[in-house]
Structure 1
């Protein structure tokens, strides 16, 4: 059978440097068909030696590296030598994209591709090329610590719980892909700078934004406890573990009814999440015995019937065997030499042009001697200050966090994003308070969360349950490039506004739907929050200390991760559409977006039969590695990345070194090393200890509280927070996108988030709509309808 027409097959990519972020970014291109050529140092990328190893004899390689580098070519090139640089220079004219993760000093000493007007070049670094941290060492845990990701997780008294693995670098790679794909879609050369650190701030944005008005949100409350709601955790059942997230009063009543404690659901002490959180131990004492009466699978089936956001928390073996995921092709076969095992497939499930289902990792230097390609046609550079998605129109039917993160990425890149709400049902991140004062005082216009997720967008209101509202949406779709929605699966079909209907209006439309578990299958109607997606991904089974229950690592990890992946999927489909004119639907199961974060344990399970032990804050390849106390009560992450870093650390902190020259030696003496290092860090404020360690060439970063990011000197120097004014909200800070033109300022926040229906006249008026008539009928408006009035209207209808 002939190969499908992969959506990125027309692109050739040159990959320079090392690291997981670079490798996963390359995978996003290669698994969608691009020709990705990796220039690999003599002796091979250091990731090739990361356990577990697969293969036989001298051909053994890292299972994780093999998964990360499927469908690549490998050429040997020492980029510290003139011969290696010359090889890169010969290849670049024939490439469309340069992914450059060389250290900053090396890139500045030997710039590559700057003289090629057609080339899109992306320069990846832990902290960007300017600012006080620009030369900091930034392994995954340090990136996330300084991004505010760890502060609210773990025992109340500390230390914070550091999720191991590659989550931070994968998150950054997806964000980088979005900036790059937009540049390729524009068809003009650009040079982009991507900060892995800034990309991870998206994960902490809930606490960052909510802490402005609700400082109690920013706490470390204990394992599996997060403000502002409860229960939000993982609980033992008769067999297995159940992930539970309860937010609304109705969900709590339904949960209590499900477990036979109806009266508890009507107790006035437990109506709202913060009140339940204050009584968490009392509540758990009541419901834990009930959960133990049935299996997690049985409770999950019941939760689907009752539309409760619960999930079974699988271990790695169970995850790989889950039929729902296997039926969707969530795992792909990886070949490395003679070895075959499985890893997560790319989650961007484009129905017309899906990613490759299998992939082979290259042997080091497998393509040495391959001739450089013919040069690409001479192109043009993008004009300074231009945005790559200018002229692209996106209809945004999404609400909450995940969908708006997706469309915010596109809006930041210049797309015209039209956010569609209803006065009866505005975006729930405006607030869900049913009390009359909430509406009378228009508090739904004052939530900073909403403002941050919906900047750079226009906003209209339409009651899509009416023929007039549906007709106006169809008219907008006829002029649009894409539609994004995250309604429950059945909503748009009931409104006759699903993909077949909208594609009839605009055959080239790209429509992205992002249900929790996919549009088809037995779990298609399961409800989920971002925490539910983390629970279902299996990540909690490998997080935390070995004696803890499966451990939730974030308040709602799945939301920002799902949103970033959704933008990547949409941009990939738009690149295919630009080449072929073909539109398509994207069925993005948000739980699958979490699987690449779990990849180290998934591939280990598949390749060896075990995911390996739960290590808590320790690391399989770094000793010491963990969170250590500062004199000021704050914490910092310290990571000795190799033997040389250990020697520098020991000299600075006065640690005993006998027998610790190698990783194995340090592993045998890990407890003593940690005790001595903690004694040293306690003598200094955490920020000062970080500065001393980094100056000595040792990776370290404070465990920064999300609200403290606004005072971070590095982010301030980079202009990361942009001050903007808005009606009802007033001046507030907006975090920037993590990609920017190299050497320049962040992409601008061009306008604040829209007030409800702010752009009705401009956008709907351009369609010839009778705005006054629509307003009289309640189809459009600029004020939210109180909850009680919504019920009256529904009853009358």
Structure 2
């Protein structure tokens, strides 16, 4: 039975951790694998990390902890609560296979270092383990499948670089950890779902890091299809709305995100320019974007008159999306995060620091509040002896249905983050019932409620809505009326979970808070995901995806050294929040299935972004300061960056990962002088001469088309990728060859392109069983099947406006 204590306020209980009792094998290197393993370990799984005899490059990733053999604090944070064994894959193959057979889950990233040929030697052996997740850069097939990859190259080829940075370029390349975390969350979700459905048999999913990273910019694929996609507009300028930037104040930085006319009016009032609120020159986002330089000049002067804290309070009171943009020192001291235990201790030997917690908050079920990283080979003796005697769960053959089949989720979300979280479960087989109102549909159907909006059914023609809501059934209920609320409660009584992303005050005002829902279903999983979580001083802060990124402080450490603080994308916090909420939902459903207990998940979308800032949080904790921005350079590798090619606004990312790739690059560049220079033979020497290498790379790239340059470098074994724009990504030959883009048909829009899940079973993406629902498309079917309503009752509900299949204005709606 769920209890009031099943919430974020409850400390983790080692006896009740969500994944306690699982044994997980982690083999390979890189942040995607490491973060997947961290999620398992911090929720109580016994994660056995296999370390090769040579050091993992990420062990040297700054910041470094003090000690006789300095080790990366970032590596330690990624490996808290794991066990360590050492192995030579060539000599220890039989033992590794034996060890794998004692495990419930195998995370295999060997292909990232060794290429796809290594997958012909499966770790799991002839008897498959219940769950196996295989990490690849680009999947098992397609033109890029044998390319030398890296997190930066995958990011470039996925469309997640092109639109970030100054108009003249080069585009911005964030820290590689960010791509790894996105891929790790996808891998973890697939693994948890597969484990939840293990009674149906074993599952092996092959993940494409490239396709997983695309998920962070998926919204732009919808904008392309709607004809609304813009070219790179400049630092902190996205998507045709302004102002959405970061500004210096009398003390500190403030982040604002002005989208609606009402928000523009609130901003104008606050800065003492009320006359601009009604000025037709600023009437919409496009008009304001056209005058962005003028607006920025005005704001820079006005915002310098008060402190960031004063503006945060003033604009927040006016319901304008505004946040403090903290330095890492300020972030670590913020009460809202301290109160939620958002930063936890990380130890490695005698060294100690603080890092972000795992943001999937399940109360007593975890995560652990920090932990220790293992010393290399600390557990060799156990796993070469008694540890091999464990008998794991055995699967009865290969599963024939999706792992979450039979689970029902009521989806009250709108926009990107919440619908993405619910879609995660829908893609994996859950029945997701999306609830909208005919008078207040999902805001991603559109928010410009003109006469044309209703007449032309524009609410059925927004591609972003269609991308985020596949595999769901859609119903309408007017929750502002008692009859609609009662019907929702009847659905909730039969459901396994409810997920919502309304503002914190909405459901309580409707009488549909967690307590009310739990009164009809005590085993319910309830997921709420406001910007700063529920129950604190900032819970009512208005936020968009860009606001969430601003609130982490990440922009202060992103961008070129001579440029301003820079956001990564228009709405970075939305997909990251959605990936985290989806993973948390699946984990809570696993706990529910194992124990019968429900729980309330009080998630913070800002907190979900904090792992992306981990390198900077850890640097502040370890050294008391964060190094200044270094643009597109890399702390370990050189050359590493983004260079202009011959075509208009064509760019290529090159990331030399080791000394062998350096020699191959010199051959491609036809620079024997660089190849023979002993001072450049190793990465440390190349890092010291980055200016010289940048000049050589720039001259070579400028004479070639981006695709030709990529192919030439990849043929030589050098990690390189074109900086794809989203329109070009939708014609990408690799994605088309893999069938990643699926052509679907839907009422009111006809044919459109949808992406696929970035993980595959048997070489195929998971099926798209249902295109996004039209408004109220399945109301009669769902209410008839689940609640037993008759045709006459259904007609009456529609006549009364409780349900509906056409959007209508709010005016004239009956009172509750």
TM-score, scaled to structure 2: 0.95
Tell me the equivalent position of 2:289.
Answer: 277
Question: CA contact under 8 A between 1:91 and 1:373: conserved in structure 2?
Answer: no
Q: Report whether the alignment pairs 1:782 with 2:805.
A: yes
Aligned in 2, Cα 1:221/1:377: closer, same or farther, shift over 3 Å? closer
Decide whether the 8 Å contact of 2:655 with 2:720 is kept in 1: yes
2:412 paired with 1:397: yes
Q: Structure 2 matches for 1:344-383, cutoff 5 A?
A: 344-370=356-382, 371=385, 372-383=388-399
2:565 maps to: 550
Cα separation, partners in 2 of 1:2 and 1:731, compared to 1, 3 Å: closer
Q: Of residues 587, 590, 593 in structure 1, which corresponds to 2:602?
A: 587
Q: How far 1:117 moved relative to its partner?
A: 4.5
Contact 1:9 / 1:34 at 8 angstroms: preserved in 2? yes
Partner of 1:56: 67
Q: How many Å apart are 1:165 and its aligned residue?
A: 3.5
Structure 1: stretches of 5+ with no match in the other structure: none
In the TM superposition, what are the counterparts of 1:435-514 in structure 2 within 5 Å? Answer: 435-514=450-529
Post-superposition shift, 1:319?
Answer: 1.0
What does 1:127-166 correspond to in 2, within 5 Å?
Answer: 127-166=138-177
The question of 1:304 aligning with 2:316 is answered: yes
Aligned-residue offset at 1:388: 1.0
Distance 1:472 1:401 in 2: 26
Give me the whole-angstrom Cα distance separating, in 1, the residues matched to 2:453 and 2:318.
28
State how far apart, in whole Å, the 2-side matches of 1:329 and 1:353 are: 15
Deviates most, 351-360 or 630-639: 351-360
Contact persistence 2:165–2:232 (CA under 8 A): yes
Q: Are the counterparts in 1 of residues 17 and 364 from structure 2 also a CA contact under 8 Å? A: no
Asked if residue 750 in structure 1 is aligned to residue 784 in structure 2, the reply is no
User: Matched residue of 1:693: which SS?
Assistant: helix
2:690 to 670, 678, 681: 670
CA distance in 1, matches of 2:656, 2:625: 26
Question: CA 1:750 to 1:365, structure 2 compared with 1: closer, same or farther past 3 Å?
Answer: same
Give 1:89 deviation, angstroms: 1.6
> Which residue does 2:47 correspond to in 1?
36
- Pick one of 623, 642, 646 that aligns with 2:658: 642
Contact 1:315 1:541 survives alignment (8 Å): yes
CA distance in 2, matches of 1:585, 1:468: 25
How far the C-alpha of 1:717 sits from its partner, in A, is: 1.4
Give yes or no for contact 1:117–1:380 (8 Å, CA) kept in 2: no
Q: How does 1:116-127 map to 2 (within 5 A)?
A: 116-127=127-138
Q: Displacement, 1:211?
A: 1.4
Aligned to 2:640: 625
After superposition, the C-alpha distances for 1:745-774 in whole angstroms (9 at most, x for unaligned) are 111111110000000110112213311121
- Map Cα deviations across residues 718-753 of structure 1 (whole Å, 9 max, x no partner): 110111100001110100011111x42111111110
Distance 2:253 2:593 in 1: 46
**Cα pair distance change 1:175/1:376, threshold 3 Å:** same
Q: Determine the C-alpha separation between the residues in 2 that align with 1:260 and 1:424.
A: 35
Q: Does structure 1 retain, via aligned residues, the 8 Å contact 2:545–2:571?
A: yes
1:75 maps onto 2:94 in alignment: no
Task: Note if 1:242 corresponds to 2:236.
Answer: no
Q: Give the Cα–Cα distance (whole angstroms) in 2 for the partners of residues 267 and 142 of structure 1.
A: 45
CA contact (8 A) 1:332 1:342 kept: yes
CA 1:733–1:114 in structure 2 vs 1: closer, same or farther (change >3 Å)? farther
Partner of 1:654: 670
What displacement does 1:578 show?
A: 1.4
Question: How much has 1:547 moved relative to structure 2?
Answer: 2.6
In structure 1, what is the Cα distance between the partners aligned to 2:807 and 2:640? 50
RMSD of Structure 2 on Structure 1 (CA): 1.5
How far has the Cα of 1:106 moved from its partner? 4.7
Question: 1:604 and 1:373, CA in 2 relative to 1: closer, same or farther beyond 3 A?
Answer: farther
Is 1:210 the counterpart of 2:233? The answer is no
* CA deviation string 1:82-121 (max 9, x = no partner): 3x21221221222110000012445334212153245211
Give me the whole-angstrom Cα distance separating, in 1, the residues matched to 2:794 and 2:125: 51
Once residues 625 and 373 of structure 1 are traced to their aligned partners in structure 2, the CA distance between those partners, rounded to angstroms, is 46
Q: Which runs of 5+ in 2 are unaligned?
A: 1-11
SS of aligned partner of 1:61: coil
Query: Partners of 1:733 and 1:422 in 2: how far apart?
Result: 26
SS in structure 1 of the partner of residue 145 of structure 2:
coil
Q: Which of these residues, 88, 96, 109, is aligned with residue 88 of structure 1?
A: 96
Alpha-carbon distance, 1:202 to partner: 1.1
Residue 3 of structure 2 is matched in structure 1 by none
Q: Is 1:55–1:336's contact at 8 Å kept on the other side of the alignment?
A: no
Counterpart-to-counterpart distance in 2, 1:248 and 1:572: 36
Mean Cα deviation higher: 44-53 or 84-93? 44-53
Instruction: Tell me the equivalent position of 2:328.
Output: 316
Q: Matched residue of 1:540: which SS?
A: helix
Residues in 1 aligned to 2:25 and 2:683: alpha-carbon distance in whole angstroms: 33
- Report the Cα distance in structure 2 between the residues aligned to 1:306 and 1:365, rounded to whole angstroms: 56
Offset of residue 792 of structure 1? 4.1
- Kept in 2, the 8 Å contact 1:402–1:560? The answer is yes
The one of 82, 106, 123 equivalent to 1:98 is: 106
Equivalent residue for 1:763?
Answer: 782
Instruction: Give the drift of 1:300.
Output: 0.8
Q: Output the TM-score relative to the length of structure 1.
A: 0.97
2:429 aligned with 1:432, yes or no?
Answer: no
Distance 2:204 2:299 in 1: 55
